[in-house]
């Protein structure tokens, strides 16, 4: 995230969870400052798999979702990202590893497998 920030890239978070839950975990992990925009289920009429969270996050930066890369770990998240028009990378976690993430453009076991240059290329 630091490298993306140094390159002038915007980082937003689009979560179907409630804002209080998301913020408490980001703050506990010391990650809140990395996200310029934070949209949760509290900010939209319809959460994932509807694309509204991604549309709203992209609009915050003056972008169309097709100009964005979404990193997702769930079936509904992948569907939302793709419905919005984002390029989507699925990174399953132990709870979502058996979900169908095949709609993602790419699936990796860990983001450590990808460099920022590869993503942007």
Q: Note the pLDDT of residue 3.
A: 77
Q: How far apart are CA 22 and CA 66, in angstroms?
A: 25
Contact (CB, 8 A) for 84 and 44:
no
**Number of domains into which the chain is organized:** 1
Contact (CB, 8 A) for 53 and 16:
yes
Q: Which residue has the tokens 């990193």?
A: 71
Q: Note the pLDDT of residue 115.
A: 85
**Of residues 49, 47, 2, the one with CA closest to residue 22:** 47
Q: Note the pLDDT of residue 21.
A: 97
pTM over 0.85: yes
What is the pLDDT tens value at each position of the chain, 121 positions in all?
Answer: 777 777 889 999 999 999 999 999 999 999 999 999 999 999 999 999 999 999 999 999 999 999 999 999 999 999 999 999 999 999 999 999 999 999 999 999 998 998 888 877 7
| pLDDT over 70, % of the chain | 100
Contact (CB, 8 A) for 41 and 20:
no
Please state at what angle helix 52-60 crosses helix 75-84, rounded to 10 degrees. Answer: 60
Three-state DSSP class for 30? Answer: coil
Domain of 10 in residue numbering reads as: 2-120
Tell me the CATH number at 6.
3.40.50.1000
Q: Note the pLDDT of residue 5.
A: 76
């Amino acid at each position: 995230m630091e490298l993306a920030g140094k390159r002038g890239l915007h980082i937003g978070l689009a979560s179907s969870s409630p804002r209080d839950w998301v913020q408490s975990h980001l703050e506990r992990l010391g990650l809140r400052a990395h996200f310029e925009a934070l949209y949760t289920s509290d900010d939209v009429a319809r959460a994932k798999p509807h694309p509204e969270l991604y549309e709203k996050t992209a609009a915050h930066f003056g972008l169309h979702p097709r100009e964005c890369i979404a990193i997702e770990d769930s079936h509904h998240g992948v569907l939302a990202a793709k419905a919005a028009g984002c390029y989507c990378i699925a990174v399953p976690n132990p709870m979502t590893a058996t979900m169908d993430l095949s709609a993602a453009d790419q699936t990796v076991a860990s983001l450590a497998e990808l460099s920022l240059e590869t993503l942007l290329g």
